[in-house]
Amino acid sequence: MARLTHSELLAGLEGIVGSDHLSTTEPDRVAYSADFWPKAQIWKLGGDACRFPPDAIVWPGDEAEVAAILALCHEHLIPVIPYGGGSGVCGGTIPIHGGVIVDTKRLNRVLGFDAASATITAEAGINGMHLEDRLNARGMTLGHFPSSIMCSTLGGWLAARSAGQYSSRYGKIEDMVLSLRMALPDGRVLDTAERGPGEPDWNQLLVGAEGTLGLITSATLAVSPLPEARRLRAFRFRHLADGLRGARAIMQAGLKPTVLRLYDPFDSLIALGKESGDEAGGRKSLLHALRDLLSGGGAAGPARGRRGLLSRHLGDLGRSLKRTALTTALSSPSLINGLASAVPSPCLLIFGFEGPADAIHADAWSASELLTECGGTDAGAGLGEAWLAHRYSVSFKQSKLYAMGAFVDTMEVATTWDRLEGLYERVKKVLAPHVFVMAHFSHAYREGCSVYFTFAGYRRDARRAEQHYDRVWQIAMDAVHAAGGTTSHHHGVGMSKMSAMPREHGDGLAVWRALKTALDPHGVMNPGKLFPEDRAAPAEGAEELAP
């Protein structure tokens, strides 16, 4: 098998996409060396801005160009990393062995819309918000609203088995996809719509593969009419267990809420925008300062617009002292977790329904009755409407903590209702000595629910921060498994959770490895992601590619 020099590789790629859609510039190689995995942000804080640079970046314009790129790289053992919006948080696009980044953003067309069948066919690189806008113009919706919708793509959603904020009603992305087209490593194109009798459901084998089996080029999805009306409401619960009981009652009563979210006490404090003028003590000031940082500098609810507690309590101390105080607090997380647990905040539950006006009125009334029976108190519509207005804000809240030298990450896990509270308590307990942690429950289903943990930590230098970060994740994943949960609900696996997969899938990994061997015998597709490999990653073709 012929090995390529760097110049030969570039010539081959240029022959496929043209010089305008090929780059080896330093800024592009830095930009494409990582996604939004927080561990990569720690590397950057330590001055390592480009730990794993790609050899080249290409922007193909159609499926034929994608197939030709993959065939070239397959023939010469060059790693290929599919790339959508770059919004992933699990290291799923990091080119750990170099190779070629294939950015799909030029594959952004809507290929077909069938009003009678309520389906849309679109290319994988289309931006999520643009896809929804195109559907809305036709009176339809996909019903898929991840927090990253403005900076993620259809292909990325499919690759990671994404879930939107309305998953309790519309399902996750794997519930919406009817068929897809994928360029295989050797350049062939697989169309799952051509599935014959008795053949496997290729959709469910390829969705969630994170680019390790091929590159999705387009998909056909089921869509729904835009709702006639929407109704949102909030309830307060004195105890988390009662809120969980209420959420389970709604789902098991056969109701299909558009949104159902329950916040633990500290996360409720953020959602409520609660201010307590009599809590001016130093320790509580730090707690509220952390709250304001995690909520983007102000409340997400009705309190938005009022002067933040960070400004009130620490504003006169100066930027340097604020940083010192908060990083000191994050260096002693047991104390701040204890304070957070003692906060006299109710647990906030937000639910909503959308559809025909008469139907959602009846559903909202039924849900309110169930929540009241479980000990909830009606908190009105305002908090629910405030959540809707600011539901994408979480994607823009982390930069302040990173600017202080700290790190923040999220972990979305899931389990059945009978194990849910135990999993939450176990994870919080094991993480409390190491990071500040809070959580909310969302993506609820009849059988169970996802828990979305947010944790923040600090170490004085990047090397120690990276070690601390790795330890925190390992402790958390071990706790999730011990409680009977899965470590990945909708963010994907990438590099972040790969070590947990053998424990979750056991002998089932043999099935994936057989499929990987059949479709990608040289292991060139996104190596080092999703599942641990039982063979050496491709390197022969990459050794001579350094510019």
Mean pLDDT of 387-413: 84
Model confidence at 294, pLDDT cuts 50, 70, 90, reads low
322 versus 57: which is more confidently predicted?
57
| Residue 63 predicted with pLDDT over 50 | yes
Rounded CA separation 153/145 (Å): 12
CA torsion sign for 524, 528, 529, 532 is positive
Q: For residue 302, what pLDDT is reported?
A: 41
Q: For residue 37, what pLDDT is reported?
A: 97
The single residue listed with the structure tokens 């957070």 is 340
Mean pLDDT of 182-200: 93
Q: For residue 542, what pLDDT is reported?
A: 44
DSSP string, 276-290: -TT--SHHHHHHHHH
| Residue 470 predicted with pLDDT over 90 | yes
Sheet with strand 229-237: strands edge to edge: 377-380, 229-237, 347-355, 259-263, 436-444, 448-457, 407-416
CB 10, CB 22: distance < 8 Å: yes
Q: For residue 301, what pLDDT is reported?
A: 45
Q: For residue 510, what pLDDT is reported?
A: 92
Q: For residue 535, what pLDDT is reported?
A: 52
Q: For residue 537, what pLDDT is reported?
A: 46
Query: pLDDT tens across 354-369, in order?
Result: 999 999 999 999 999 9
Query: pLDDT tens across 415-433, in order?
Result: 999 999 999 999 999 999 9
Contacts (Cβ under 8 Å, ≥6 apart) of 35: 86, 87, 88, 89, 90, 91, 92, 93, 94, 494
- The share of the chain scoring above pLDDT 70, in percent, equals 87
| Residue 336 predicted with pLDDT over 90 | no
Q: For residue 293, what pLDDT is reported?
A: 60
Q: Enumerate the domain spans of the chain.
A: 6-105+509-519, 229-482
Query: pLDDT tens across 302-331, in order?
Result: 444 444 444 444 444 456 666 777 888 888
401 versus 34: which is more confidently predicted?
34
Tokens of 282: 């130093």
Model confidence at 484, pLDDT cuts 50, 70, 90, reads very high
Neighbours of 256 (CB within 10 A): 16
Mean pLDDT of 269-292: 55
Q: Which amino acid is at 512?
A: W
| Residue 447 predicted with pLDDT over 90 | yes
What is the distance, to the nearest Å, from the Cα of residue 174 to the centroid of all Cα atoms in its chain?
15
259 versus 269: which is more confidently predicted?
259
Rounded CA separation 237/248 (Å): 14
Distances (CA, A) of 70 to 35, 403, 537: 21, 39, 17
Question: For the structural domain made of 6-105+509-519, what CATH number should be given?
Answer: 3.30.43.10
Mean pLDDT of the chain: 89
Sequence length of the chain is 547
CB 404, CB 323: distance < 8 Å: yes
Tokens of 257: 């809420």
| Residue 544 predicted with pLDDT over 90 | no
Rounded (10°) angle between helices 318-331 and 282-294: 90
Q: For residue 418, what pLDDT is reported?
A: 98
pTM of the model: 0.91
Model confidence at 501, pLDDT cuts 50, 70, 90, reads very high
Model confidence at 396, pLDDT cuts 50, 70, 90, reads low
| Residue 457 predicted with pLDDT over 70 | yes
Helix (H), strand (E) at residue 452: strand 448-457
340 versus 362: which is more confidently predicted?
362
| Residue 70 predicted with pLDDT over 70 | yes
DSSP string, 191-209: EGGGPPTT---HHHHHTT-
Mean pLDDT of 289-297: 58
Among 198, 97, 98, 93, residue whose Cα is nearest residue 155: 93
- The share of the chain scoring above pLDDT 90, in percent, equals 77
Query: pLDDT tens across 105-155, in order?
Result: 999 999 999 999 999 999 999 999 999 999 999 999 999 999 999 999 999
Q: For residue 96, what pLDDT is reported?
A: 97
Mean pLDDT of 249-255: 98
Among 279, 269, 278, residue whose Cα is nearest residue 299: 269
Rounded CA separation 338/500 (Å): 29
Model confidence at 276, pLDDT cuts 50, 70, 90, reads very low
Q: For residue 281, what pLDDT is reported?
A: 43
Question: For the structural domain made of 229-482, what CATH number should be given?
Answer: 3.40.462.40
